[in-house]
Amino acid sequence: MPIVKNVSRAVSQLLQSSGCGCGISIVPVRCIGVSPRQVASDASFHSVSFSESDHPRVLITGGLGQLGVGLAKLLRKRFGKNNVILSDIRKPADHVFHSGPFIYSDILDYKNLREIVVNNRITWLFHYSALLSAVGEANVPLARAVNITGLHNVLDIAAEHNLRLFVPSTIGAFGPTSPRDPTPDLCIQRPRTIYGVSKVHAELMGEYYHYRYGLDFRCLRYPGIISADSQPGGGTTDYAVQIFHDAMKTGKFQCNLKPDTRLPMMYIDDCLKATLEVMEAPAEALSMRTYNISAMSFTPEELAQEVQKHVPELQVTYNVDEVRQAIADSWPMNFDDSNARRDWGWKHDYDLPELVSTMFSFLGSDSRIAQAN
């Protein structure tokens, strides 16, 4: 099976690329084959409801990426430390390991994943394991295996064990023929990256499992996610994280997108809040299974101008990466998230000035930074 060998070889080359602008981590692959299983066609699965004294038991896959650790912290505060299990195939940092339950989980090992769900009485599953846009284009077989085969395992286990399943989608699920300004929830989707194709596949498969088996599938299309506690790695929107690190370390930033490239963005706290809110929303409030969410939309030039209010001497240059630019040019410029705001009350907290101020406050003070009033 040459594809298995290629995938295995690629894993070691890509381990350093986990976590990115869209908040998903890489899960390397041991094998492409999956254990036999079957979801009973005549079974009927329903949402699990929880009282205040009966919290969900949560599993987060791909948990060492940009969003997993922060989500675990939020959910543990709400549901209790021992009710939220973080998982990945990499060794966690000490502070992550000691902050709550952590286990090894390979999403392409169907039997192992099923045992975790059964042994820990999991009721909610957040599936964050995926290869990102630019990284996925560099290794399509690996992206196909992780993003699609892994998803199939998760869908089958979630349906079999009556889980409430969250799978994030992305601005990358749209393509150059989609309306870009704004992009509605329902429109033509013809992405031109394996990452985008796999996310459209996830949206449609989740909706199919909902209507076919009654799976409580919920999905949000994330914009570019910006956070202070993760390093950029593999995402087209990663420039919006890199600029803060470079501003503080060197005072020089080279952007790999054109200065007028407008993309929807969101601070990580808003992203995590939206994820919890949609999972807690009553099933009857949801008019669809996949929602756009947004907070702000800006260009590299607009972000740089806001950053320069804090670091006036920041020097910004542009060296366009044609691969990333082509991807960005096929993505939405603005998300229409009116359905999320209407159905379950989504409301963001951070606009661009608040985002920039918060990023600098978390990254720490520096002699170059002029404190903003």
Catalytic residues: 195
SS3 category, 254: strand
Cα–Cα distance, 334 to 331 (Å, whole number): 9
* Cβ neighbours, 10 Å, residue 177: 13
Query: What count of other Cβ atoms lies within 10 Å of the Cβ of residue 39?
Result: 16
CB atoms within 10 A of CB 172: 30
Render 131-185 in DSSP notation, one character per residue. Answer: --HHHHHH-HHHHHIIIIIHHHHHHHHHHHTT-EEE--EEGGG--TTS--SSBPS
Residue 371 DSSP label: P
Place of tokens 């499992």: 209
Are residues 236 and 324 in contact, defined by beta-carbon separation less than 8 angstroms?
A: yes
> Are 235 and 131 in contact, with CB atoms under 8 Å apart?
no
Q: How many helices (H) and strands (E) does the chain have?
A: 14, 13
